[in-house]
Amino acid sequence: MRQLIIVGNWKMHKTVTETLEFLVELKEKLSNTAVEVVVSPPFTALAAAAEVLKGSPIALAAQNMHWKKQGAFTGEISSAMLKELGCKYVILGHSERRQYFSETDDHVNKKVKSALESELIPIVCVGESLEQRETGATEATVEKQINGALAGLSPEQAAGIVIAYEPVWAIGTGKTASDEDAQQVNGYIRKVIACRFGNTVAEAVRIQYGGSVKPANAQGLMAQPDIDGALVGGASLKMHDFVGIIQNVL
């Protein structure tokens, strides 16, 4: 049985003070849940978040990292730095990173390997643009992204990662993939992983859906056999909505 994993990606939102206020309340509300809950504040708030989350089941994720462990890369952060701060996960290859910061599948692959070396669990984001969907290129797009991101991994390494299927046209737009469409792509991703790493790995990997998830649509999406959780953007910034999503899928 794969445990559901709900991750709140805060993007460039919340100061340290706002992070602490939010997490103190979230911790009280979610002291005991069967779903794995993860929050991903900006880099500046990770240390404070780790401190306030000590002893709570809520885990911490970073939103990005560089693949080198150290060096002359002004403005960058390494996997070792994130691990020391208390992160368990790191989100890699988010479509905003691909779109605005020119991240390629090769960059994502290097980051995945570096994260694993530092014992961070990568949450690898994949998903098609509206044009790719409309031209029937959804499966080819996610297959290429998965094969690129996971190149060179052993089956043991692949089994532990998390994948987030996030159709780009659904991120921050209020448009959500239907339960059936999301299930179809998540099922396809599991097949791609089975082809590359075998059935045991494919059955172990958790595959989330992301794209305008909210309390009203979370239950239907999470009930799909190949959807093992959600990567939540906008709704994770509001206590009522984030807690609502978690409670609705229990």
Binding-residue pattern over the window 109 to 138 for ligand PEP, x denoting contact by CB under 6 A: ------------------------------
Return the residue nearest ligand PEP (CB atom).
233
Q: Which two tokens stand for residue 184?
A: 């179809």
Among 234, 241, 242, 246, binds ligand PEP (CB under 6 A): 234
Say if residues 232 and 213 touch (Cβ distance below 8 Å): yes
Q: Please name the amino acid found at residue 99.
A: Q
Least distance from C-beta 211 to ligand PEP, angstroms?
5
Site membership for ligand PEP, residue 211 (CB under 6 A): yes
How many positions of this chain bind ligand PEP (CB under 6 A)? 13
Q: Which two tokens stand for residue 14?
A: 């919340």
CA-nearest of 13, 19, 6 to 234 is 13
Site membership for ligand PEP, residue 23 (CB under 6 A): no
Among 46, 168, 213, 221, binds ligand PEP (CB under 6 A): 213
| 212 appears as a binding residue in the annotation | yes
Q: What is the dihedral of CA 161, 238, 47, 122, to 10 degrees?
A: 10
Q: What ranges in the chain are assigned the alpha helix state H?
A: 16-29, 43-53, 79-85, 95-100, 105-117, 130-134, 138-149, 155-160, 179-197, 199-204, 215-222, 239-249
Please say which residue, 67 or 169, places its beta carbon nearer to ligand PEP: 169
Binding residue positions for substrate: 9-11, 172, 212, 233-234
**Where on the chain is the footprint of ligand PEP (CB under 6 A)?**
9, 166, 171-172, 210-213, 231-235
Q: Which residues contribute to the annotated binding site? A: 9-11, 172, 212, 233-234
